[in-house]
Amino acid sequence: MSHDALPAMTDVPATCNVLLLGTGGREHAIAWKLRQSPRLGTLWVQSDANAGLAALGRRCDAPLSPRERFFLKSWLDKNDIHLVVVGPEGPLSEGIVDDLAAPNRRIFGPTREGARLEFDKSYAKTVMRLASVPTADGRSFSNYEQARTYVEARDTPLVIKASGLCAGKGVIVCEDREEALAALARIMGSREFGDAGSTVVIEERLSGQEISVLALVDGKTITVLDPCQDHKQVGEGDVGPNTGGMGSYCPTPLATDAIMEEVSRDVLVSTVDALRREGIEFRGVLYAGMMLTAGGPRVLEFNTRFGDPETQPLMARLQGDLVEILWRTAGGELDGNELSFDPRSACCVVVCSEGYPGKVRPGQVIEGLETAAKVAGPGEDVIIFHAGTAKDPQGNTVTTGGRVVSVTALAADLRRAQELANLAASRIRFPGAFFRRDIGHRVLAAAGRNPANAPGRG
């Protein structure tokens, strides 16, 4: 079903009951911002939510599996839910937005056809090619032998990507042909990522700074949010294996006005228009993972949801009523609604469990959560967003996963925001806790070399 099939909607309800799906730091940040809205009625969160998120909403215990949509729809009706906000890509790829559509509620997120931009990288490359969106040269293969032959004929560095969803793990950046063949063997030979690797995208390897450009799209109108930079590698100085994200900051001065103009026009508008030509009205978040190459900005990937940990600094800085913003996006009514952001810089530092991104030992008691935010000085703020936390039977907050909390600091400039986030993060203690102290280092180092380029306010 397309969003078009829905009848015209009424204005934002004065008291809007919201169900928020997803249980990570991203969702805690969204819930924190929703709670500031005077229009928020009851906020419902997933029953297995993290401790921070759970404290902000009531638990929805309806089943979420795609086969049990009837029960979830009955639950939405019974609880008079006006707006469902879908955080993660999994339910989007299962078509939850199509399934839950009804005249009496709005669902924030793209339909399954729109979400395909994220869950099918091969399709995303086709859309980009048709729309002349700047991206790495690449080809898709569903046949292992043909993929091998292609790799063997190439002598420039390649990136091998499983086409399907792999929780950020299905991309292998290779130095040479041997590595590329080994990557192909992992994805298509031993099926390390299961069916997600039945098709691969093989791309030229690009180099440059990476930025995340997220936009709210209501089908026609595109509102670009302030640009962020994520830090995916586990170690300081960007070394070690990739993670779900060790920290981020917003805004990033790497994305100049000219770059944002180009990304907006050549990537976001072109892609949304190309989808429209195919009869797909995209509503929700369109997130372009960009690399700023010497030849200009290039798309590395699309996501069709808010990023994690980009959402934490974005929500910390977003001004205005999030209930209304998400409601209007979901209903195709963004036009004329400008967004504004706090002029301060936000830096988010993710405190992780020992062993992450590998195996971790959950159940560690976390201390310092209540006091960590107190390090903020006048005109500054620190917000502790939970991700992998839960309450144990004794009432302690304990770790449940690799990424435990995302400490987000707001300050006059990035340098101070980083310092403040690090200070607060160091007050959150549990056995094996670690975090990167260098979030934002690429621009801070450049600013150090040339004070005229110091990353300052907004």
Name the burial class of residue 36, with classes exposed (0-12), middle (13-18) and buried (19+) by CB atoms within 10 angstroms of its CB: middle
Q: Does residue number 455 form part of the binding site for ligand GLY (CB under 6 A)? A: no
Q: Contact at 8 Å (CB) between 109 and 94?
A: no
Residue 245 interacting entry, from ligand AMP, ligand GLY, none, C-beta within 5 to 8 Å by type: ligand GLY
Instruction: Report the interface residues with ligand AMP, using CB under 6 A.
Output: 136, 159, 161, 168, 171, 173, 203, 205-206, 210, 232, 289, 300-301
* Residue 300 interacts with, from ligand GLY, ligand AMP, none (CB under 5-8 Å by kind): ligand AMP
State which residue, 13 or 168, has the beta carbon closest to ligand GLY: 168
> Could you say which residues in the range 285-304 bind ligand GLY, by CB under 6 A?
303
Q: Which listed option, ligand GLY, ligand AMP, none, makes contact with residue 203 (CB within 5 to 8 Å by class)?
A: ligand AMP
The entry of ligand AMP, ligand GLY, none that residue 428 binds, CB within 5 to 8 Å by partner kind: none
Specify the amino acid at residue 395.
G
* Dihedral sign for Cα atoms in the order 239, 254, 229, 306: negative
Q: Which one of ligand GLY, ligand AMP, none interacts with residue 173, CB within 5 to 8 A by kind?
A: ligand AMP
Per the omega criterion (within 30 degrees of 0), is the bond before 357 cis? yes
Q: Give the integer Cα–Cα distance in Å for 263 and 224.
A: 10
Strands 233-235 and 247-250: unpaired
Q: 368-427: which residues touch ligand GLY (CB under 6 A)?
A: none
3-state helix/strand/coil string of 238-263: CEEEECCCCEEEECCCCCCHHHHHHH
Per CB under 6 A, contacts with ligand GLY among 182-201 are none
| Alpha helices (H) in 279-338, listed in sequence order | 311-317, 322-331
Among 219, 253, 284, 307, binds ligand GLY (CB under 6 A): 307
205 binds, among ligand GLY, ligand AMP, none (CB under 5 to 8 A by kind): ligand AMP
Instruction: Name the residue nearer to ligand AMP (CB basis): 14 or 239.
Output: 239
Q: Which residue, 271, 126, 118, is CA-closest to 196?
A: 118
Strands (E), 167-208: 171-173, 200-204
Q: Would you count residue 245 as binding ligand GLY (CB under 6 A)?
A: yes
For residue 310, state whether it binds ligand GLY (rule: CB under 6 A). yes
Contacts to ligand GLY by CB under 6 A: 168, 230, 245, 303, 307-308, 310
